[in-house]
Structure 1
């Protein structure tokens, strides 16, 4: 996590807590010619445009006060979406019992992607059940865990 991402987390936390939101993630990265500072928030029942505006205005004011970023950037505050990656312990608890896709950095049994029912995150291991039974993946080898959305 970059210093800007960490500082953004610290700056936005009071507004997140006050409004009973969850801070899902913060990203600071360059795409094309532009830098983006993205803040992903969530809450029970989902995030509204008004929720995003509250956090955006608060954070924009705090960032202007501290002025930690030398170059121009675009601030975006949004919901992580229904297929958001699972990152926190709370995410793994919330999606326990759901169908997920686990992507790996290094293959296991010549596969880098597995699908199954999420049992949880325990002792830095992602645990799922698939057709082959119970599987555990060391978190260090997991590049992404996301829900599988079926319509």
Structure 2
């Protein structure tokens, strides 16, 4: 049986795609009093506040009808920001050459955290160049990954 988060992703990803956006990441934090549903969306032209509002209204309508969250919840729709999440292989491939921070579910070669330049990615493995060399990280082992913003970039 699928988790609530998986059901939400399956339900909302096509709705968001039909509006012309990509669902980058869905974060669901259950709570008996005030659950949180946070959606990170993206588009080729970037994301504006109007885009977030448009997606929020559409998603709220779907959630009201389908009622997958039985308790009170707060819905947030956000752009990915400078420290955007990296979830799918295509996300890593798009940002080859940029710095990323990767946290694993379990240690790999004694480490759970890697920071370095993305040097490659395929369907199963992400390659991060760290000070110690290139780490080949199985995508399935990644708990969280985000870009490291370069504030000096013009």
- What band does the TM-score fall into relative to the shorter chain? 0.7 to 0.9
Report the number of matched residues: 150
> Alpha-carbon deviation of 1:144?
2.5
**TM-score when scaled to structure 1?**
0.82
Indicate if the aligned counterparts of 1:129 and 1:135 stay in contact, CA closer than 8 A: yes
2:70 corresponds in structure 1 to: 70
> Alpha-carbon deviation of 1:36?
0.9
Cα distance in 2, alignment partners of residues 101 and 148 from structure 1: 6
Q: Pairwise CA RMSD of aligned residues? A: 2.5
Unmatched runs of 5 consecutive residues or more in structure 1 = none
- Once structures 1 and 2 are overlaid, which stretch shifts more, 95-104 or 131-140? 131-140
1:22 corresponds in structure 2 to: 22
Indicate if the aligned counterparts of 2:96 and 2:118 stay in contact, CA closer than 8 A: yes
Indicate if the aligned counterparts of 2:23 and 2:40 stay in contact, CA closer than 8 A: yes
Cα distance in 1, alignment partners of residues 20 and 11 from structure 2: 16
Runs of 4+ in 1 over 6 A off after TM superposition: none
Post-superposition Cα deviations, 1:49-84, rounded to whole Å, max 9, x if no partner, equal 111111111111111112222211111111122212
Unmatched runs of 5 consecutive residues or more in structure 2 = none
Residue 43 (structure 1) aligned with residue 43 (structure 2) = yes
Change over 3 Å in CA distance of 1:140–1:11 after alignment to 2: closer
1:106 corresponds in structure 2 to: 107
Post-superposition Cα deviations, 1:90-145, rounded to whole Å, max 9, x if no partner, equal 2111111111222233152x443332220222352221223333221233443332
Residue 144 (structure 1) aligned with residue 144 (structure 2) = yes
